Structure 1
Amino acid sequence: MIVWLNGTFGAGKTTTAGELAGILPDTRIFDSEHVGYMLRHVMTEPVENFQDWAPWRPLVARTAVEIVRSAGGNLVIPQTVLNEDYLQEIFTGLRDEGLEVRHFLLHVEKNALVDRIKGDLDDPGAQEWRLNHVDRYQAALPWLRDAAEVIDTTDVPAPEVARKIAARLGLN
């Protein structure tokens, strides 16, 4: 099974993925951003986001399929995707290979999200970039709410978010 954790930057996807991997049996984390990092070395077309490169989406799906086929178990993918067509392309690739996909949206209310981003001093250079994506996330919320199981993470710590997801998966 693929457990896709979506949500804007600062919603707790990476932390929640780590918690999930600790409580779900036979579960690994796949950081699909590494596919984008790889493509930066070979793609010449300038893009704002590596997700805009056409190979990124099928390569994410193919890599996830190969990981599950080789290692078995469940795969948690913490990745923000705010383009509905891109997400459907990835999910179609996964489902066409017989993998079950569970899509969770980790949602943070806007004011709390902005405070969380401004309070993250680990990578001050990323603050502006993350803040610039808040409005894109807000614009994508209508379709995201329809496409995913929503978990409000505004005032909920990652271990509790992970337990909620595990309960919904029936795997804890």
Structure 2
Amino acid sequence: MLVWINGAFGAGKTQTAFELHRRLPGSHVADPELIGYGIHRMLPPAARNDFQDRPQWRTAVVATLADAVDASDGPVIAPMTLVVPAYFDEIMDGLHSRGIDARHFALCPRPETLRRRLRQRSGYALGRVVGRSETWAMAQIDRCVTALSSERFAHHISNDDLNVDQVVELIAEKLGVELSGERLSAARYQVRRLTVGARHIRF
């Protein structure tokens, strides 16, 4: 099984993915964004546009996620914003054609919730590069929210008023899988949240 966690920037994809991973035995997190950054590192700066527009990114995502599913003892979890319908269909169809049980969830908080979260995230940002990244993410909110509202991107999870534990448990229920381990205490969760966030700051 592959679990794709979609959503606008600031929706909580990464935190949800890693908390689901913590509580789902044998699972593995595979971030498709890493393939995009690898492509960018091989290109001169002038060619580093949106890597999702590159066919080789989409092809590599399908092939690499398929390999991850084959090698994993449990579900593979892919947190990634993917809102262009043609790209979404290409990747999901590619996964299904390889016999992969690909499940999709879109975290769909309201735009004002996303803006608040991104402003809070900027408060923890390290350096000007990260600040620019959050500004760019803020500008993508309306585009992402509008696209993800389509039935193509179901299952939708409105997580304005849900914490990460509640989202993880809702996803597990819809997947029909049993979680292990208990919820973290508030203090331990904050430490883990900051650790996961720091590991995913892109410079």
Instruction: State the AA in 1 paired with 2:19.
Output: E
SS at match of 2:77: strand
- TM-score, length-normalised on structure 1? 0.93
Give CA-to-partner distance per residue, 1:13-67, whole Å, 9 cap, x none. Answer: 0000011111222110001111001111334673531111110011001001111
Q: Work out which of the residue numbers 153, 157, 160 in structure 2 matches 1:151.
A: 157
Q: Which runs of 5+ in 2 are unaligned?
A: 126-130, 179-203
CA shift, 1:71, in A, is: 2.8
Task: Answer whether contact 1:61 1:90 (CA < 8 A) is retained.
Answer: yes
Output the CA distance in 2 between the equivalents of 1:56 and 1:26. Answer: 27
Task: Answer whether contact 1:106 1:152 (CA < 8 A) is retained.
Answer: yes
Identical pairs, percent: 33
Q: Work out which of the residue numbers 135, 138, 161 in structure 2 matches 1:131.
A: 138
Q: Which runs of 5+ in 1 are unaligned?
A: none
- TM-score, length-normalised on structure 2? 0.79
Question: Residues 58-97 of structure 1 correspond to what in structure 2 (within 5 A)?
Answer: 58-97=59-98
Output the CA distance in 1 between the equivalents of 2:12 and 2:177. Answer: 21
SS at match of 1:102: strand
Instruction: Using the TM superposition, name which of 145-154 and 89-98 deviates more.
Output: 145-154
Task: Answer whether contact 1:25 1:171 (CA < 8 A) is retained.
Answer: no
Output the CA distance in 1 between the equivalents of 2:157 and 2:148. Answer: 13
Instruction: State the AA in 1 paired with 2:50.
Output: N
Asked if 1:40 corresponds to 2:40, the answer is: yes
Q: Identify the residue that residue 31 of structure 1 maps to in structure 2.
A: 31
| RMSD (CA atoms) | 1.5
CA shift, 1:139, in A, is: 2.8
SS at match of 2:42: coil
Task: Answer whether contact 1:47 1:53 (CA < 8 A) is retained.
Answer: no
Tell which has more relative contact order, 1 or 2 (C-alpha 8 A, sep 6+). Answer: 1
SS at match of 1:156: coil
Output the CA distance in 2 between the equivalents of 1:168 and 1:142. Answer: 19
Asked if 1:122 corresponds to 2:129, the answer is: no
